[in-house]
Structure formats: structure tokens, C-alpha cells
């Protein structure tokens, strides 16, 4: 229901649904991918990297790969641009190299050739997930199953922080001196059903962990991207897209299918990229 000049919000299980806000509009869809998990746009070059698990997320089968997809129309530029991975998920660019998580290792890829040039093992990790880089070129990787975060610094990958207060981290975003985490919630990613969780922030200087805002559970959160003073966040289990403000208030923007994975966003184009793992496609939306 909508009245002129009045924004009507419905509250469903603690999440606001803004009836006055126009839903994001579909621009294009790319079919033919293989269990796509993450999208990393490179707007200055007009494409996005898309990681393809190509099987089960924990299988070391060598089937995984990374694609290049055009931002303009969703056409596949190169389906298997980087090959020989197992189950690649989150990605980040740092110092001219592409970094991708791959179950229990972080892979460094040459952006000119798509060849793997280094592999950093993470002993004890079982589900390395999202990847983010800071301005100094350090690379952070979430291990969703062990509620830990790893960091690559000076050519060495080490466990940076492990704490139940991270709430089994999935999505990562570096915001100045803080690391913003989209938490999946216990008992971890490998479980069939996990408790809903929220956004968490870590002060990087002293590793202080706190809820972002009121800490009210939102869902089993996956990808996170900044949008002005808020964050766009996906929920893999429920199949949803939320806008979550700095106080932790969540507004549902889209109802989607299970498998809504690690989103990418181009702010100056209002362009959102949504990998749909269970339907093997990448969907682009124009944010309203």
C-alpha cells in the first residue's frame, strides 16, 4: 500500500520492506555459467570477473574457473579466462593482481594472462570465502566455517583473527580503518541451516569486534557492497537483497532465489551484479 508523500514500510521478521521504494530493475542476464559465486566489476575496463565453483563448494576437483563478462550487456568475453582452480569464491584486486579464495588457499592470478602465479596455503581453513584488500595492499580472506579471517601481508598468509564474535564471516569490505563483515551466523557455512546474523565491524588497528548498529539478525548474509551511507547485502539462504544502514536497520529490496551469492556494485552506474549459484547465471540490476 502506498499513499502520496508517505513512505510505507512493512515489518516482516524484523526487516523493513519499503513499499515506496522502486525495486531494482533487471538490465541483463548471463546464462551458461557454472555455479557462479562472486562478481568483481572492473568498470574502467568494462568487464567483471565472475568466479565459477563448477561443482560443490568444497570439492578439490580442478573444475573451477573465473570468467570475464561485459558490464555493458552481459556477454561472456572469456568463459574460462582463469582455469585449474577447485572452487573459487570471493575475489579482490591488489597491486595489479587478482586474488581469489579457493577452499583452503588464496590464489594470486596475473590479470594479463589469467595464469596462477602464486598459491598461499591456509592450514586448518576449510571454507575460505570472500576476499577484500586495504589501501596498503594487504589482502583479507574470511573462513566461514571456523569464524576466522586470514591476511596476506608481505607475501605471507597468516590467520589474522579468529573469534566466535565474528559470527562465521562471509562477505568482507574494507572501510578505512575498519573491516565490515556480512556474517553468515553459526553453525557455519557448511551447515544446512544456520542461525540468521547481521553486519559486524572490526577496528583493524586493535582487532576490536562489535556489531554494526543494533545487531538485530537479518539473515545468512553473503556479499556486501557500500552504497552511500548504507550497504547492499545479499542473503544466500533466503534469496534476498537488503539495504542495511549504519544503525543496522535492514530494508529488503528484492526477493530472489536461494543461492543469491557475492554481489558486485558499480556506484557511479548504480549497477548491481548478482551471481545466482543455483541457476548458473549472473543478473545485472539498475539500483533505483
The enclosing domain of 241 has a CATH number of 2.120.10.30
4 falls within a domain: no
237 falls within a domain: yes
pLDDT at 15: 63
Percentage, residues of the chain above pLDDT 70: 91
Give the structural domain span for 220: 9-286
pLDDT at 188: 75
108 falls within a domain: yes
pLDDT per position as a tens digit, 178-213: 999 999 998 877 665 679 999 999 999 999 999 999
Looking at the chain, list the stretches that DSSP marks H as alpha helix, in order from N- to C-terminal side: none
Ordered DSSP codes for 213-237: TT----BSEEEEEEETTEEEEEETT
280 falls within a domain: yes
pLDDT at 259: 96
3 falls within a domain: no
73 falls within a domain: yes
pLDDT at 2: 30
Percentage, residues of the chain above pLDDT 90: 88
pLDDT at 18: 55
pLDDT, mean of residues 134-163: 97
**CB pairs under 8 A, 24+ apart, for 252-255?**
252/12, 252/15, 252/16, 252/17, 252/18, 253/18, 253/21, 253/23, 253/24, 254/23, 254/24, 254/285
Look at the chain and report how many structural domains it folds into. 1
pLDDT per position as a tens digit, 57-116: 999 999 999 999 999 999 999 999 999 999 999 999 999 999 999 999 999 999 999 999
For the chain, the average pLDDT equals: 92
> Per-residue confidence at 9, pLDDT binned at 50, 70, 90?
very low
Distance from C-alpha of 278 to C-alpha of 226, rounded to nearest angstrom: 25
pLDDT at 187: 81
150 falls within a domain: yes
pLDDT per position as a tens digit, 17-27: 555 567 899 99
| 3-state SS, residue 190 | coil
pLDDT, mean of residues 158-185: 97
Cβ 79 vs Cβ 67: under 8 Å: yes
Handedness of CA 25, 225, 223, 100 (dihedral sign): positive
DSSP state of 165: G
Phi, psi of 43 (to 5 degrees): -60, -30
pLDDT at 175: 97
Cβ 40 vs Cβ 47: under 8 Å: no
Residue 3 has pLDDT above 60, yes or no: no
Amino acid at each position: 500500500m502506498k499513499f502520496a508523500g508517505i513512505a510505507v514500510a512493512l515489518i516482516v521478521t524484523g526487516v523493513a520492506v519499503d513499499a515506496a521504494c522502486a525495486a531494482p530493475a533487471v538490465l541483463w542476464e548471463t546464462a551458461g555459467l557454472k555455479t557462479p559465486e562472486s562478481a568483481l566489476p572492473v568498470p574502467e575496463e568494462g568487464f567483471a570477473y565472475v568466479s565459477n565453483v563448477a561443482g560443490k563448494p568444497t570439492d578439490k576437483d580442478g573444475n573451477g574457473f573465473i570468467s570475464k563478462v561485459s558490464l555493458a550487456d552481459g556477454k561472456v568475453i572469456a568463459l574460462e579466462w582463469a582455469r585449474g582452480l577447485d572452487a573459487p569464491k570471493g575475489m579482490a584486486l591488489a597491486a595489479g593482481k587478482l586474488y581469489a579464495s579457493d577452499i583452503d588457499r588464496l590464489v594470486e592470478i596475473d590479470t594479463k594472462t589469467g595464469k596462477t602465479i602464486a598459491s598461499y596455503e591456509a592450514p586448518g581453513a576449510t571454507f575460505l570465502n570472500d576476499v577484500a584488500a586495504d589501501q596498503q595492499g594487504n589482502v583479507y580472506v574470511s573462513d566461514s566455517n571456523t569464524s576466522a579471517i586470514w591476511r596476506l601481508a608481505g607475501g605471507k598468509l597468516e590467520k589474522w583473527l579468529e573469534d566466535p564474535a565474528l559470527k562465521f564471516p562471509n562477505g568482507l569490505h574494507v572501510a578505512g580503518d575498519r573491516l565490515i563483515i556480512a556474517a553468515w551466523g553459526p553453525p557455519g557455512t557448511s551447515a544446512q541451516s544456520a542461525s540468521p546474523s547481521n553486519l559486524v565491524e572490526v577496528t583493524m588497528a586493535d582487532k576490536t569486534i562489535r556489531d554494526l548498529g543494533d545487531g538485530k539478525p537479518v539473515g545468512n548474509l553473503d556479499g556486501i557492497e557500500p552504497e552511500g551511507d548504507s550497504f547492499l547485502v545479499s542473503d544466500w539462504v533466503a534469496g534476498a537483497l537488503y539495504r542495511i544502514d549504519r544503525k543496522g536497520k535492514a530494508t529488503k529490496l528484492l526477493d530472489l532465489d536461494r543461492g543469491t551469492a557475492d554481489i558486485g556494485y558499480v556506484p557511479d552506474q548504480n549497477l548491481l551484479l548478482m551471481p545466482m549459484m543455483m541457476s548458473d547465471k549472473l543478473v545485472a540490476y539498475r539500483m533505483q
